[in-house]
Amino acid sequence: MVKIRKPFLIANWKMHKTLGEAESFCRDFLPRVKDGGRVDIAICPPFTCLFHVKSFLASSPVKLGAQNMFWEEKGAYTGEVSPVMLVDAGCELVIIGHSERRIILGETDAMINCKVKAALQYGLLPVLCVGETLKERQEKKAKEVVRKQLQEALEGVEKTENLVIAYEPVWAIGSGLNASPEDAEEIASFIRGLLADWWDREISSRLRILYGGSVKPENISLFMQKENIDGALVGGASLDPYSFAEIVRLSVYA
């Protein structure tokens, strides 16, 4: 199948890696992904490693991203990091609304909406995460939940191509239990349909929708073969340079 959208593979390291470990990853990973023409690749390290990782990415096609940010430019917000600071550290993208932040840290759809708007305002590509819990899936509410999360996150956001949506069912994250490629495709296609209704079909057909949740070299091709899945947001398997490089390689040839 020929897709018009370029595959996008994003490593979300979550709260893993010291400076030394990040450096060692870069030394092993970057020589394996020299050809950036056919796929977009990004690494999202913890804040403490951003600037250091950027120094290794200078001559590579790999982009730098953050895992979160606050929406204000500066001020008395102890512990927060602003979009301006992320751009300054070399970031091009930022993950917003990850389920771990929603569930463990109490992030609301309204906060996520502020973050999406701030990312766009400061020139960062928002990677907006949505996805249902196991209970919601069992109650057949997956689409309803995803629709509400998307609607609230994009409230007041002008139609734009500078957006990536990551469908990450909560029960598939870090569990080893990936969603079936068919279930993931059903939701990805639902998301594309919503964006076509809310914005327009042209923009919606160009937006990249990623799947996330227990992606590994053994299953990436199955997801990439689906019409509406344009890549993956990878947690655990992105911590190992060889496994993430293999995921990138397989995503191009699926």
Q: Which residues are annotated as a binding site?
A: 12-14, 174, 214, 235-236
How near is the Cβ of 81 to ligand 13P at its closest, in Å? 18
Q: Give the binding site for ligand 13P (CB under 6 A).
A: 12, 98, 168, 173-174, 212-215, 233-237
How near is the Cβ of 44 to ligand 13P at its closest, in Å? 8
- The string over 58-77, giving b where at least 16 C-beta atoms fall within 10 Å of a residue's C-beta and e elsewhere, is eebebbbbbbbbbbeeeeee
Q: Which is nearer to ligand 13P, 229 or 237 (CB)?
A: 237
Check 98, 100, 132, 136 and give the catalytic one. 98
Check 100, 132, 136, 168 and give the catalytic one. 168
* CB-side neighbour CA atoms (13 Å) of 82: 12
Contact 17, 46 (CB under 8 A): yes
- Please identify which residue in the block is written with the tokens 């590579």: 60
Q: Which is nearer to ligand 13P, 163 or 199 (CB)?
A: 163
Q: Which is nearer to ligand 13P, 199 or 213 (CB)?
A: 213
How near is the Cβ of 196 to ligand 13P at its closest, in Å? 25
Residue 16 appears among annotated catalytic residues: no
Residue closest to 128 by CA, chosen among 149, 107, 147:
149
How near is the Cβ of 234 to ligand 13P at its closest, in Å? 5
Q: Which is nearer to ligand 13P, 22 or 172 (CB)?
A: 172
Shortest Cβ contact with ligand 13P: which residue? Answer: 235
Residue 98 appears among annotated catalytic residues: yes
Widest pairwise Cα distance in the chain: 51
Distance, CA of 12 to CA of 67 (rounded, Å): 7
- Token duo for residue 19: 């400076």
Binding site for substrate, by residue number, is 12-14, 174, 214, 235-236
Beta strands in 177-251 (DSSP E): 208-212, 231-234
Residue closest to 117 by CA, chosen among 145, 103, 97:
97
Give the sign of the dihedral formed by CA 215, CA 220, CA 225, CA 229.
positive
Q: Which is nearer to ligand 13P, 96 or 233 (CB)?
A: 233
How near is the Cβ of 197 to ligand 13P at its closest, in Å? 27
Q: Is 135 left (phi over 0), alpha (psi -120 to 50) or beta?
A: alpha
Q: Give catalytic residue positions.
A: 98, 168
